[in-house]
A and B are shown apart, each in its own frame.
Chain A
């Protein structure tokens, strides 16, 4: 991925840049809002990572300016301002996601991947999600593995749908909670783990090759059985 990082805290920036480059992404780093804006408009990036508070031009204004030119590159806000209203402000300005400092790198990674592959428009046409031998019919809300129907509870269905829509990518616990329940809230991690272990029992019955994987320190992802 081609990434633009606008962040004035050198240590944070170095860490993000180094970590992202280690996993094979190209990162362009700028330490103030003005230069960042110029760069964002001059070149094409897959995702922009913008700190909320920046010298010269603050993050909100940078994003607003970028959106004003019609540029729709996905933007991920980084911020130490974690309150819900700050988050709403960021999203209203045109950002696509918001990550509060301090954050786990795996969370950042997962969100970046989700953003970079976010299709420009909502996929309303899709009625079926498939991975390997697992099929999800979005209309009838039925799930089959190897033609055997799997009965899922309401939220289990939604969790699986989220994973399928982002197959091959890590979904963090927070992302799953927020996307499925639609609330922004904090909760102990084990709440979602119980859901996932139930889901796993249903889609990966004993004897089958597992599709639902736990990614240590990060979250969950679904992949076609090898």
Chain B
């Protein structure tokens, strides 16, 4: 019955699988939308910035001349944190700045790899190394962009390393198209080329990562999200695994109990307050209860056997002699019948007790006038008490009790029966009751011998009869039945020795009436 962990069969395994799929989908979506988001960032944030810088360069050239412009451009390029490079061309010759732009980047499956390279940025020397050149597609894209909005989408060459062009080739091209270029594939590089007049052309390249660029922030968020999702997945798997181990502890105990038919086994439970500890402890309590019930039943069958074996044997012997003896008298037959009745009585008492204890008996509770019922009991036992010259009476005010009429009468009758039996001649048996805030107490006091202190507990155990009472008639189940009746009423039966006798106390917890 040992169950191995299977991802598909196990509920937790399935949860982990589902979560894993969700993680993959989430990551996929992040990557898919990342470029779109980045492009949006470039369009809405980076391009206006580049435009503003270039306008500034233009105004410097127009107001202060070429020399001042070169000075400012050199100054910009000298600050690595600006991520700036430029080429200043006059009459198809480079007069200032770099000869080529843009380093090639690591490629994966023919696509520029999106994240890592962004963080390899160190300074302008990387992007604007002299040997760097523009890809071939740059030209075509430029040619195709006839709408004149100034932005050109550049795609890396499909398959294989991109081809690169000499920087000089760019400037020999017709210069009717000018404007910032989104150098595609490297979303973070923007180039704006602008005619300043008199054959002077400026190509300004900006690494947008050097701006206080929200797209960097966005990328960090994206990376954070990825890490969060992955960490979540790991945590979930870990939690799932922990739950699985706890549950398999319970499962193992359950199957062990079934396999070995051994109810004494318990689930390992911590003393903490976690749900699993609680569950384990509750299950253990339940097992305890079931074990106790089973033990009770075993005890019951033992006791039935014990209580009925002796009388049945005697009866059998009687019947045997009845058959053999020709002179069978009516008296002997009667004795056997009485004997049999005794056995039936015992049998019925055992059944009633187990019925009450198992909770299968339904109580029919009603409001009962207690003094009336107690008078009925007294009427029943008065002749017996009178024979022993005992005083049997009650001192009760009007009290109403909510209980099962037949069962309460049975309980009272059993107690009085005992009291009459065990109280010596000329003794006194007095029934009283008291209404307490939380309970209704009935007391039956007698002036009998009481019960030895060490036997007080035992006397309530089923089938336990004090040795000296073995000689007295009765099946010895009287008090056990009373206890079962009180238990069924959620009440209590207490026995105490008091000065010169026994006090039996029936305690009915409120609400004993409605």
Q: Which residues of A contact B (CB under 8 A)?
A: 82-85, 88, 100, 102, 104, 153-155, 177, 181-191, 194-195, 197-198, 216-217
CA distance A187 to B364 in the complex (A): 20
Chain A residues in 8 Å Cβ range of B474: 188
Q: Does B44 contact A (CB under 8 A)?
A: no
B414 to chain A, nearest CB (A): 8
Q: Does B76 contact A (CB under 8 A)?
A: no
21 contacting pairs across A/B (C-beta < 8 A) = A82-B348, A83-B352, A85-B362, A100-B348, A104-B341, A153-B379, A155-B380, A181-B376, A181-B409, A182-B376, A183-B376, A183-B406, A183-B409, A183-B410, A186-B348, A186-B352, A186-B410, A187-B380, A187-B413, A191-B384, A191-B417
A146 to chain B, nearest CB (A): 25
In-complex Cβ contact of B405 among A104, A183, A186, A190 (8 A): A183
Other CB < 8 Å A-B pairs besides A186-B348, A188-B345, A188-B473, 14 of them? Answer: A82-B351, A84-B364, A84-B407, A85-B361, A100-B348, A155-B380, A181-B409, A183-B410, A186-B345, A190-B473, A191-B380, A191-B384, A194-B387, A217-B337
Chain A residues in 8 Å Cβ range of B341: 104, 189
In-complex Cβ contact of B364 among A85, A177, A183, A186 (8 A): A85
CA distance A88 to B474 in the complex (A): 28
CB proximity to A under 8 Å, residues B464-514 = 473-474
CA distance A102 to B308 in the complex (A): 15
Interface contact A187-B417, CB-CB below 8 Å: yes
CB proximity to A under 8 Å, residues B400-424 = 404-407, 409-410, 413, 417
Interface contact A185-B410, CB-CB below 8 Å: yes
Find the residue from B340, B352, B413 having the highest chain A CB count within 10 A.
B413
Interface residues on B, range: 35 or more
CA distance A200 to B407 in the complex (A): 30
Chain B residues in 8 Å Cβ range of A100: 348
A81 to chain B, nearest CB (A): 10
A167 to chain B, nearest CB (A): 23
B485 to chain A, nearest CB (A): 11
Q: Which residues of B contact A (CB under 8 A)?
A: 330, 333-334, 337-338, 340-341, 344-345, 348-349, 351-352, 355, 360-362, 364, 376, 379-384, 387, 404-407, 409-410, 413, 417, 473-474
A162 to chain B, nearest CB (A): 14
CA distance A190 to B341 in the complex (A): 12
Chain A residues in 8 Å Cβ range of B364: 84-85, 88
Chain A residues in 8 Å Cβ range of B344: 102
Interface contact A154-B379, CB-CB below 8 Å: yes
Sorted from nearest, which 4 A-B pairs have the closest CB atoms? A194-B383, A183-B409, A85-B362, A185-B410
Chain B residues in 8 Å Cβ range of A190: 384, 473
CA distance A93 to B362 in the complex (A): 18
CA distance A149 to B449 in the complex (A): 42
Chain A residues in 8 Å Cβ range of B362: 83, 85
Chain A residues in 8 Å Cβ range of B473: 188, 190
Interface contact A185-B413, CB-CB below 8 Å: yes
Also in contact, A216 and B334, with CB within 8 A (given A82-B351, A183-B409, A191-B384): yes
CA distance A40 to B338 in the complex (A): 36
B342 to chain A, nearest CB (A): 9
CA distance A189 to B333 in the complex (A): 17
- Please name the residue on chain B nearest to A199 by beta carbon: B383
Also in contact, A181 and B406, with CB within 8 A (given A83-B355, A186-B348, A189-B341): no
B408 to chain A, nearest CB (A): 9
- Please name the residue on chain B nearest to A107 by beta carbon: B341
Chain A residues in 8 Å Cβ range of B352: 82-83, 186
Also in contact, A84 and B361, with CB within 8 A (given A186-B348, A191-B381, A216-B330): yes
B263 to chain A, nearest CB (A): 28
Interface contact B337-A185, CB-CB below 8 Å: no
Chain A residues in 8 Å Cβ range of B376: 181-183
CA distance A155 to B474 in the complex (A): 24
Chain A residues in 8 Å Cβ range of B330: 216
Also in contact, A155 and B379, with CB within 8 A (given A104-B337, A183-B409, A187-B413): yes
Chain A residues in 8 Å Cβ range of B413: 185, 187
Chain A residues in 8 Å Cβ range of B348: 82, 100, 186
Chain B residues in 8 Å Cβ range of A182: 376
Interface contact A194-B337, CB-CB below 8 Å: no
CA distance A189 to B475 in the complex (A): 12
A192 to chain B, nearest CB (A): 8
Chain A residues in 8 Å Cβ range of B340: 104
CA distance A161 to B376 in the complex (A): 17
Chain A residues in 8 Å Cβ range of B406: 84, 183-185
CA distance A82 to B406 in the complex (A): 14
- Please name the residue on chain A nearest to B340 by beta carbon: A104
Chain B residues in 8 Å Cβ range of A187: 380, 413, 417
